[in-house]
């Protein structure tokens, strides 16, 4: 089968022929239909310091996907050939303290699909049945392909109650945009999204942001009076991984405010702990999705009318992978999807 792989410890990816995985035991073989390009994939493509420390080539990339079940192993009981499915890309051990307690998203021995083991940028991928999410209602395939980052957005946006609250989201990448849509759908009073990319800020407005603010031109505090806000934001969602974004967020939170942090910084982040303490702020780290409560919430949100489709701005065939990656890296787009049923679009 054709697959997009990191073939050696250097920048770049190649389309190669690799064996089709087997549907042994409890594993499900899935014919891949669409994949989403993630920031993690961009790091592996570029072969930066993180990728060089983390990835062992050769490796098939990709963890955001939707596909059709092609075969099931003899121990599979709930998934059938022909099902349309997405996959949870965090493969957990099942035996550590957190796994045994049902907190699988906290597994200390998590293995990442497309990072530590061959992933979904291929014509077929195989996963344990426990990592397969069957779509029981009609769903757009492009949206189903980005269920993984959609889950990150849901996990972050619903970490704290947002009904009637004022919400600040720093970072208008695809996950930040989806978080804005979720917060608005869940009843937030105001949703302020910050970034420096005007194309992404415009997308954030389409997805439900009350204000999409270019922080290269305007300070966050300057928009509060026009929104009738006098004490700061109730809920913050840090999506950018930038130290200055977290610092600005902490400075504009109301007393008792709560911050969910998804963005991964590349270095140390100085934090004004005196403000955290005296305003009694809560900071919570977010990684991945709660398995599988977040997946259930994703499906229900879509059934309830949430529309995240505007976040998908570009689509490519699998032979156009270089163009797809360049587009995703540009910072002037939303989510980029690759169609594995077509060479070009």
3-state secondary structure of 19: coil
Q: What angle do CA 203, 204, 205 make, to 5 degrees?
A: 90
H helices of 103-197, in order, are 141-145, 147-157, 174-185
- Please give the annotated binding residues, written as ranges: 38, 63-64, 93, 96, 99, 107, 175, 195, 200, 262-264, 286-287
If you ran DSSP here, which 8-state letter would residue 218 be given? S
Residue 254: in which H helix or E strand, if any? strand 253-261
Angle between helices 39-46 and 321-330 (to 10 degrees): 110
Give backbone dihedrals phi and psi of 179, rounded to 5 degrees, phi first: -65, -35
Catalytic residue among 40, 110, 156, 327: 40
43 is catalytic: yes
Judge whether 110 counts as a catalytic residue: no
- Residue positions forming the annotated binding site for Zn(2+): 38, 63-64, 93, 96, 99, 107
Closest CA to 61 of 342, 313, 338: 338
Token pair 């977040």 is found at 294
DSSP line for 275-318:
HHHHTT-EEEE--S--TTHHHHHHHHHHHTT---GGGEEEEEEG
Question: Catalytic pick from 7, 35, 43, 105?
Answer: 43
Strand partners, 65: 35
DSSP for 45-91, please give it: HHT-HHHHHH--SSEE---EEEEEEEEE-TT--S--TT-EEEE--EE
Residues designated catalytic: 40, 43
């Amino acid at each position: 089968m054709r697959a997009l792989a990191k073939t050696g410890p250097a920048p770049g990816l190649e389309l190669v022929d690799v064996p089709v995985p087997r549907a042994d035991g409890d594993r499900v073989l899935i014919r891949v239909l669409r994949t989403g390009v993630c920031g993690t994939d961009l790091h592996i493509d570029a072969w930066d310091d993180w990728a060089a420390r983390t990835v062992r080539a050769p490796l098939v990339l990709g963890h955001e996907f939707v596909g059709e079940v092609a075969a099931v192993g003899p121990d599979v009981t709930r998934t059938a050939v022909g099902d349309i499915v997405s996959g949870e890309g965090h493969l957990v051990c099942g035996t550590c303290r957190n796994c045994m307690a049902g907190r699988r998203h906290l597994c200390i021995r998590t293995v990442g699909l497309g990072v530590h083991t061959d992933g979904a940028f291929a014509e077929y991928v195989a996963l344990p049945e426990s990592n397969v999410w069957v779509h029981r209602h009609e769903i757009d395939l492009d949206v189903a392909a980005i269920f993984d980052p959609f889950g990150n957005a849901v996990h972050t946006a619903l970490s704290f109650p947002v009904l009637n609250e004022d919400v600040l989201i720093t970072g208008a990448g695809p996950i930040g945009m989806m978080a804005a849509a979720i917060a608005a759908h869940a009843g937030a009073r105001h949703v302020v999204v910050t970034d420096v990319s005007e194309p992404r800020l415009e997308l954030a407005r389409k997805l439900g942001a009350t204000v999409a603010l270019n922080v290269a031109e305007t300070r966050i505090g300057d928009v509060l009076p026009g929104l009738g806000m006098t004490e700061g934001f109730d809920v913050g969602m840090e999506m950018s991984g930038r130290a200055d974004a977290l610092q600005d967020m902490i400075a504009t939170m109301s007393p008792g405010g709560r911050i969910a942090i998804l963005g991964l910084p590349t270095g140390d982040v100085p934090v004004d702990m005196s403000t955290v303490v005296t305003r009694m702020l809560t900071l919570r780290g977010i990684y991945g999705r709660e398995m599988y409560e977040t997946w259930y919430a994703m499906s229900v949100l879509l059934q309830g009318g949430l529309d995240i489709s505007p976040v998908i701005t570009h689509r490519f065939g699998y032979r156009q992978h270089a163009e797809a990656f360049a587009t995703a890296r540009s910072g002037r787009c939303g989510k980029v999807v690759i169609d594995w049923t077509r060479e070009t679009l």
